[in-house]
Amino acid sequence: MSSDVGWEQLLRFREDFRGWVAGAAEQLDGLRMVANSPAEQLGQARALQRLLYESRWARHGWPDHAGGLGGSVLLRGVVGEELTKAGYPPPFACSLIEVLGPAVLEFGSPELVAEFFPRLLDGTDVWCQGFSEPEAGSDLGALRTRAVDADTHWVVSGQKIWTSYAMGAQRCLLLARTGDVSAGFRGVTALFVDMDSPGVQVRPLRAMTGDDEFAELFFDEVEVPKARTVGVVDGGGEVVRKVLGNERGVLAWQRQAWLHTRLRDAIAGADAGASAPAAGHVGDAYVALHALRLRVRETFHAAAAGCDVGAGTSVDKILLSTAEKAVFDTALKLEPQLILLNDGPVAARWRYDHTYSRASSIYGGTAEIQRNIVAERLLRLPRER
């Protein structure tokens, strides 16, 4: 999507949206990021998405044929950033709209996009991502969920794991093997699956945070129409690369804005007499965040201009996980008694975020895999033996 938008236009759009957020305080009441359970978070996100859609803000930056209003992807970044700053979740964060949406737009058929994308934009549908498996996490080329060609449809059998918000999802972008295991990505196909299809079973997984945001999915001879194939058969690797690149575009921009907000919250809540070591951690966290913001901004604008950001997004992912851990480690050092000993909702939120940040070097591609990509594809170092 084009980034053909001037700075004055972008600034005016930002100011207009800020004005709308301020004026819609009564409508937005109750939609701030205070929900604890995944079900509550999803309910809030869907309600906010519906409000943003009806007010047209959720449609900017998406093409007309998908239910949008057109315009630069940068407009979506502005909406997400300003919502995050104001304490609201970014547009449909729970539904991976910025992760899966662009991939389905690029690789899905016009009929599939026309039928399902408006339902995503207006909050009717939630999508989830069926990639990881018990024996194929970051190495998606090793996945074993299989789709067998049955003329007019695929018959899918297998298991997925660590699927976010699957309990409330209506659709799943699923990776299944259609070729030989030895073919790696060259034998993988992306499919768009209805979660209420016969043979689909969803089981919640309890994380160390105490929540069941994640689930494992079981597919027992699930029939998926051939029209739901996303991209070409055995070409799922291209879809995966698009999805992973999306995680480091608008989504990463929204994430860094949220981390800045959380660092400010930690500083504002700290005692005036915070120790010098704790103050030093604030500086380290800010430097990590600023480096992340500069890098993500460059990637975001390059993607908006239609450039292939490629393997360079692995640098973004490494910086993101580093900054996320730094922010919540700093918060713990600034307010140890509040976070560790208090039973109130504010302390509970800090404990949740700190615990969740431990996974930042795992989800979306482990830090080890990202460093290998940087070494081999950017620095041209020899492959790891």
Active-site entry in 216, 247, 324, 335: 247
Integer angstrom CA distances of residue 176 from 155, 292, 318, 323: 10, 34, 28, 33
Is 384 tagged catalytic?
no
Please report, as a single letter, which amino acid is at residue 49.
Q
- Residues contacting 57, CB < 8 A, separation 6+: 17, 20, 79
DSSP E strands, 84-152: 127-130, 146-149
User: Rounded CA gap, 37 and 279, in Å?
Assistant: 32
Q: Are 98 and 110 in contact (CB under 8 A)?
A: no
User: Rounded CA gap, 88 and 268, in Å?
Assistant: 19
SS3 state at 273: coil
Backbone phi, psi, residue 106, to 5°:
-80, -40
Catalytic residue set: 247
